[in-house]
């Protein structure tokens, strides 16, 4: 019973530390190298602290605690990298990294079970991983499609504006085309 209580308090402490870390990693602009390095350093510090909490545990409780600590570090680092790079690919990678970290923790929790219960637990964890990866892929694909669609719409609007500029002549036409390019990002 003491092991279960220790696991719960360690998990709560780990959750509080990681929540603070996630809030800190999401609060900077893409390309901010100093903030990125700070987030990575903070992830390491949080991991080291969580690891020390896990040292007081034994058996599978310790394994679960360590999996949670490692998973939260991976998530924080991937989130920091995604925020730093600011690309769809980096955000997709962060989501899949989070899914895999959650899967590793879920598998460790399944070790407390036996027989068919353990088999079902592992299958459920694998299903959650598959769903999370599918959601990440769908979000990535939707964003890509949305970006392509927006680009196509801007190009069409630019063509209309440019065509309207053709009714003008000389400097007025040049200024109109320049304004249209600026407005539609061409």
Does the pLDDT of residue 2 top 70, yes or no? no
Does the pLDDT of residue 18 top 80, yes or no? no
Q: Which long-range contacts (CB under 8 A, 24 or more apart) does 103-110 make?
A: 103/128, 103/129, 104/67, 104/70, 104/71, 105/64, 105/67, 105/68, 105/71, 107/67, 108/60, 108/63, 108/64, 108/67, 109/64
Give the closest residue to 14 by CA, choosing from 60, 75, 59.
75
76-120: per-residue pLDDT in tens? 999 999 999 988 899 999 999 999 999 999 999 999 999 999 999
Does the pLDDT of residue 65 top 90, yes or no? yes
Average pLDDT over residues 48-64: 93
Residue after which a domain boundary falls, among 39, 59, 88: 88
Please state which of the ranges 5-9, 45-49, 153-157 shows the lowest mean pLDDT: 5-9
User: pTM, whole model, 2 decimals?
Assistant: 0.62
C-alpha span between 129 and 133 (Å, rounded): 6
Residue 9 lies in a domain: yes
Q: Spell out the alpha helix ranges (H) of 26-114.
A: 33-55, 59-85, 88-110
Residue 173 lies in a domain: yes
Provide the number of structural domains found in the chain: 2
Residues 77 and 150 in one domain: no
142-161: per-residue pLDDT in tens? 876 766 677 777 888 888 88
pLDDT at 144: 67
Residue 93 lies in a domain: no
* Containing structural domain, residue 158: 146-184
């Amino acid at each position: 019973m003491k092991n279960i209580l220790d696991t719960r308090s360690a998990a709560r402490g780990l959750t509080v530390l990681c929540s603070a870390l996630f809030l800190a990693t999401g609060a900077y602009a893409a390309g901010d190298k100093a903030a990125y390095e700070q987030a990575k350093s903070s992830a390491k510090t949080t991991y080291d602290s969580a690891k020390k909490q896990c040292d007081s545990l034994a058996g599978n409780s310790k394994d679960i605690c360590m999996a949670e600590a490692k998973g939260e570090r991976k998530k924080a680092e991937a989130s920091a990298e995604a925020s730093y790079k600011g690309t769809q690919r980096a955000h997709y990678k962060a989501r899949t990294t989070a899914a895999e970290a959650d899967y590793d923790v879920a598998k460790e929790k399944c070790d407390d079970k036996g027989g068919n219960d353990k088999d079902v637990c592992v299958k459920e964890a694998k299903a959650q991983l598959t769903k999370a990866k599918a959601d990440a892929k769908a979000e990535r694909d939707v964003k890509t499609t949305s970006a392509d669609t927006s680009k196509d719409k801007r190009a069409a609007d630019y063509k209309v504006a440019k065509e309207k500029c053709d009714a003008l002549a000389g400097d007025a036409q040049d200024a109109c085309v320049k304004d249209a390019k600026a407005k539609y990002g061409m």
